[in-house]
Structure 1
């Protein structure tokens, strides 16, 4: 993976399931040119992997804190990660 590309694993908590959060994340990620995935977790949170430029990843992290209409975001926890092979698209996985 290029040094100019950042990968972040993100956990979003609050009222983020049943409000269109994953579809919103996918649309926002595509708007910013990011790749990765987003999924619901059994604990009621949403987890996402976002891969792109440092600026684009920082931008989507800010957007995650606001969320779509109907969502109430309590926390956004993220940590950078390394990937052998970055994803080529952005998917909703579950």
Structure 2
């Protein structure tokens, strides 16, 4: 089990990026959260298998309709069973 924090910079608020990211993470069996931050970025914190986290990162780097991603910062963290699948 791994945990990652991802901060996505660019035009990522108000374009469905957060909603679609949450749906993709759920599809991959990841737990955690996706939230808009006051500085205009989107924060993703996800826990799951290394493979699922890598798939989420690859998905996030793709072009998404309405969004313009400038930078993705990622920080791998020690996983703790903090999130539930609900």
Q: Would you say 1:66 and 2:66 are equivalent positions?
A: no
Segments ≥4 residues shifted beyond 4 Å: none
TM-score by length of 1: 0.84
Distance 2:2 2:79 in 1: 9
Paired residues, number: 86
| Maintained 8 Å contact 1:24/1:68 | no
Q: Would you say 1:82 and 2:85 are equivalent positions?
A: no
Which moved further from structure 2: 68-77 or 36-45?
68-77
Give how far 1:65 is off: 1.1
Runs of 5+ unmatched residues, structure 1:
none
Distance 1:89 1:56 in 2: 14
Distance 1:67 1:9 in 2: 20
TM-score by length of 2: 0.91
Q: Would you say 1:16 and 2:12 are equivalent positions?
A: yes
Cα RMSD of the aligned pairs, angstroms, is 1.4
Aligned to 2:2: 6
